Chain A
Amino acid sequence: MGLDKIWVFGESNADGDAVATITLEMLAKARELADTVEVFMAGDGDDFAEELGDHGAETVYATGDLDGGMQGVAVASAVAAVVAEGDGPSAFMLGTTQDGRDVAARLSVKLDAPVITNVVGLELDGDSLLGNEPIFGGTVDVKTKNTSGKPGIFLVRPKSFAAASVGGAEADVEDLDVPDLGAMGSAKVTDRFVEESDGPKIDEATIVVSGGRGLGEKDAFAMIEDLAKTVGGAAGASRAIVDAGWVPYSMQVGQTGKVVKPTVYIAAGISGATQHLVGMKGSKNIIAINKDPEAPIFAVADLGVVGDVHKVLPKLIDALKAKG
Chain B
Amino acid sequence: MKVVVCVKQIPDPADPGALDPESKTLKRDTKLILDESDSYGVEMALQLVDTAGEGSVHLVSMAPNNEVGGLRTALAMGAESATLVSDEALKGTDALGTAKVLAAAIARSEPDLVLAATESSDGYTGTVPEMVAELLGLPSVTFAKSIAIDAGTAKVQRQTEAGYDDVECPLPALVSVTAGVVEPRYPSFKGIMAAKSKPVDEVGIADLGIDAGAVGWAGGGQEIVSVADAPAREAGEVIEDEGDAHERIVSFLEELKVL
Contact = CB atoms under 8 A, between A and B. Distances in A.
Interface of A: 14-15, 70, 72-73, 76, 96-98, 101-102, 104-106, 108-110, 112-118, 125, 130, 134-150, 155, 182-195, 206-207, 231, 239, 242-245, 248-250, 255-256, 263-264, 266, 273-275, 281, 285, 287, 289, 293, 298-308, 311-312, 315-316, 319-320, 323
Interface in B58-93: none
B22 interface: no
A316 B249 contact: yes
Q: Which 4 A-B pairs have the closest CB atoms?
A: A307-B241, A148-B221, A105-B130, A302-B236
B238 interface: yes
B252 interface: yes
Interface of B: 13, 16-17, 19, 24, 36, 94-96, 99, 118-119, 121, 124-131, 133-135, 137-143, 158-170, 173, 178-181, 183, 220-230, 232-233, 235-241, 243, 245-250, 252-253, 256, 258-259
5 contacts: A72-B142, A108-B95, A140-B229, A192-B162, A256-B126
Given A116-B222, A134-B230, A256-B119, A73 B245 contact: no
A266 B237 CA distance: 14
Contacts, number: 277
A142 B141 CA distance: 31
Contact of A102 (B13, B119, B130, B178): B130
Contacts of A293: 238
A73 B249 contact: no
B237 A193 contact: no
Contacts of B124: 117-118, 255-256, 275
Contacts of B227: 140-143
A105 B159 contact: no
Contact of A155 (B121, B127, B235): B127
B217 to A, nearest CB: 10
A110 B134 contact: yes
B230 A184 contact: no
A15 B161 CA distance: 9
B126 A96 contact: yes
B125 A118 contact: yes
A237 to B, nearest CB: 10
Contact of A316 (B135, B229, B246): B246
